[in-house]
Structure 1
Amino acid sequence: MLPRFIAFLTLVGIVLSMPIEEQDDDEEEGLRIVCPEDGVNPCFATGHETFGIINEGDIIETIKKAMDGDDEERNALIDKERLWDKGVVPYIYHQQFSARDKARIEAAMTIIEKNTCIKFKQYEKGNSEQALVFITRLRGCRATVGYKLSRKRHNLNLHPLGCLGRSGTIIHEMLHVLGLKHEHARPDRDNYVAIMWKNIKDGHQKNFVKGSDKEFTTFDIPYNYKSVMHYPAVSFSKNGEPTILPLDPTVDISILGQRKEVTKLDLEKINRMYKCKKHL
């Protein structure tokens, strides 16, 4: 019995360590990688994926569970295994993106790269990537949180009409990919904001559940009302009234959920999470 169990573990290890395959038709996800034979044009993704459970409005919690059965709620911030190795994030564009769309996305990548040790690496033919971020353009702005080897296809979905107009919106989703969840979900949030449960749409209360301090760390970063990761004050409101109110009366409610630009505290959190030498 023991030899069979060891053989099973070995097989699981082999499967989980296999790289992303090119020209791989996946019936569930419907995505495949195509690399032109000319050796000049970049590889691209084609087909369409099916998102799994969407939580907190834009977090893709489940795409595919590969033999591990792990709880997707486990927060990447405190689990080192949920960080991208050496801060390198390999990605590939869906073929539907225009050059202008790509320029906006890469401008956001550059902001992160200049202020952290994170590096975004475009997939090239023959790369032995074990996990890859597919940048797609279906409806909505959505992303998976953190790295997970068993989830070979990570997602960063940015529709041009609703997601590429402001760099803060793009960076918000990119920071999810790197491992950040929403600012209002911090375990210490009750010291800074009040959740107005009576104003939340039925069925959306779960979007306001705070994280456990056993799974989520703030890295000693002060609560950031201006965070690009914060919800707007009226998120998921059923009556137009605020669902999140600052406890500090001097805080302008309109700054909650700003997507104009990423803040220094947002970037500093990434630096501490990935142990970057840069500090802002």
Structure 2
Amino acid sequence: MQLAVPSVVILFNFIPLISARGKPIDIFNQAGKGDITQLRAPAQKNDKRMYNALHKYSNLKWQIKESDGTYVIPYIITGRYDSSEKATIAEAMRRIQRNTCIRFKPRTTERDYIDIQNQKGEGCYTNVGRVGGRGVLMLEANSQETCMEPEIVLHELMHVIGLWHEHMRADRDKYIKVLYQNIPQNYWSQFEKVTSQEATTYGIPYDYRSVMHYGKKAFAFPGKISMQTTDPKFQDVIGHQKDASPNDYRKICKIYGCSTCAGGKVDLEDQGGQDGRDKGDDDHDSVTEVPIVIPTGGNCVDTMGSFCRTMAKVGMLDCGYFGRRHCCATCSAQSSKWIDPFEGFDSFFRRFRF
């Protein structure tokens, strides 16, 4: 009975956090519009240059290289976001910075930069790579709809860096079947497959767990699916990742020649040809995954005092999003392994996905 009161207190403490968030936007539908600016523009509908990852010599790569070998992506935030939404953006940036040689820095006088905007009805989208001058990263966030889920922000930032969608790979037919009969014809361009001469995968195998992979119902008619995985156990895996995969980070490291990747030294020699193209196909499970290092941040305290330790002692402290937010120190003390701070949202928001 002693636990009943604090349980009620913690419930009411979390209700405002839940109700303040809008419904997560389905970035793979968005009323028929994708999340890549180049694919939204009618003028680009016949453009065949759809890469899985930019070539290392691509002019769409970000160009500012620091003396320590890191690459800088300048940014400004002109959209209005609350502190929680800004924290979600910052966390996504930190994950990329910790696992690659990419650094996000507030813009000063740089010519090329991204402008993070928030406009109602616009959804979540951006360009792939550096477009020259100001590039828009649209992250809508309001009480009705929001892009402020960690996996959505990560997905869009990885487009900014230089990754296209995983299902666009030339070898995708070995792993998925696109069901065009279930997709309106004007959305077929979202499933464009490229040839091995056009695509660059850096020899990294097809990844069902990539945060860049579409979900099974993307752009499909109501009640239908647009993609079927050749291995049935991955049918409900695609499009539902809460974090970037090791292979997502590896591609970024290959594009920019990072000397370390996901906290470890990497072989900078291409696994493909000298221009970054594939030497051959690899099986999906043939790669040794690089462990992902997720930052914990420096302000890790228990905001609810002894209540956190009491709940932990009786085995009732859930170190998902809410527990991590209010009982960070206790959760960290329980395990040296980082727990995704947004893990607790998974089951709650899963019902909103289409």
TM-score by structure 1 length? 0.71
SS at match of 2:248: helix
Q: Is 1:101 aligned to residue 79 of structure 2?
A: no
AA aligned to 1:263 is S
Question: How far apart, CA to CA, are the structure 1 residues paired with 2:50 and 2:130?
Answer: 12
AA aligned to 2:135 is H
Q: 2:126 aligns with which of 138, 143, 168?
A: 143
Q: Is 1:262 aligned to residue 244 of structure 2?
A: yes
Assess, with a 3 A threshold, how the Cα gap between structure 1 residues 81 and 137 changes in structure 2: closer, same or farther: same
Question: How far apart, CA to CA, are the structure 2 residues paired with 1:213 and 1:133?
Answer: 30
Question: How far apart, CA to CA, are the structure 2 residues paired with 1:252 and 1:173?
Answer: 23
The CA deviation string for residues 44-64 of structure 1, in whole angstroms up to 9 with x for no partner, is xxxxxxxxxx99711012899
Q: Structure 1 unaligned segments of length 5 or more: list them.
A: 1-53, 65-70
Assess, with a 3 A threshold, how the Cα gap between structure 1 residues 195 and 60 changes in structure 2: closer, same or farther: same
Q: Is 1:114 aligned to residue 98 of structure 2?
A: yes
AA aligned to 2:202 is F
Q: Verify the 8 A CA contact 1:186 1:211 in the aligned structure 2.
A: yes
The CA deviation string for residues 72-103 of structure 1, in whole angstroms up to 9 with x for no partner, is 94646125221112321000001522332211
TM-score by structure 2 length? 0.57
Q: Is 1:186 aligned to residue 160 of structure 2?
A: no
Q: Is 1:195 aligned to residue 178 of structure 2?
A: yes
Q: What is aligned with 1:50?
A: none
Measured after TM superposition, the shift of residue 265 of structure 1 is 1.0
Question: How far apart, CA to CA, are the structure 1 residues paired with 2:194 and 2:73?
Answer: 25
Assess, with a 3 A threshold, how the Cα gap between structure 1 residues 254 and 216 changes in structure 2: closer, same or farther: same
Q: What is aligned with 2:140?
A: 159
Q: 2:219 aligns with which of 236, 254, 259?
A: 236
Assess, with a 3 A threshold, how the Cα gap between structure 1 residues 273 and 170 changes in structure 2: closer, same or farther: same
Measured after TM superposition, the shift of residue 261 of structure 1 is 1.1
Q: Give the number of aligned pairs.
A: 214
SS at match of 1:135: strand
Q: 2:206 aligns with which of 193, 212, 223?
A: 223
The CA deviation string for residues 197-252 of structure 1, in whole angstroms up to 9 with x for no partner, is 10012311111111232332111111100110000001111142221111123x23
Question: How far apart, CA to CA, are the structure 1 residues paired with 2:234 and 2:181?
Answer: 22
Assess, with a 3 A threshold, how the Cα gap between structure 1 residues 72 and 142 changes in structure 2: closer, same or farther: farther
Q: Verify the 8 A CA contact 1:140 1:158 in the aligned structure 2.
A: yes
Assess, with a 3 A threshold, how the Cα gap between structure 1 residues 260 and 195 changes in structure 2: closer, same or farther: same
Measured after TM superposition, the shift of residue 153 of structure 1 is 1.4
Q: Structure 2 unaligned segments of length 5 or more: list them.
A: 1-30, 42-46, 66-70, 262-289, 291-354
Assess, with a 3 A threshold, how the Cα gap between structure 1 residues 208 and 63 changes in structure 2: closer, same or farther: closer
Measured after TM superposition, the shift of residue 133 of structure 1 is 0.3
Measured after TM superposition, the shift of residue 167 of structure 1 is 0.9
Q: Is 1:133 aligned to residue 133 of structure 2?
A: no
Q: Is 1:81 aligned to residue 59 of structure 2?
A: yes
SS at match of 1:220: coil
AA aligned to 1:278 is T
Structure index of larger Rg: 2
SS at match of 1:157: strand
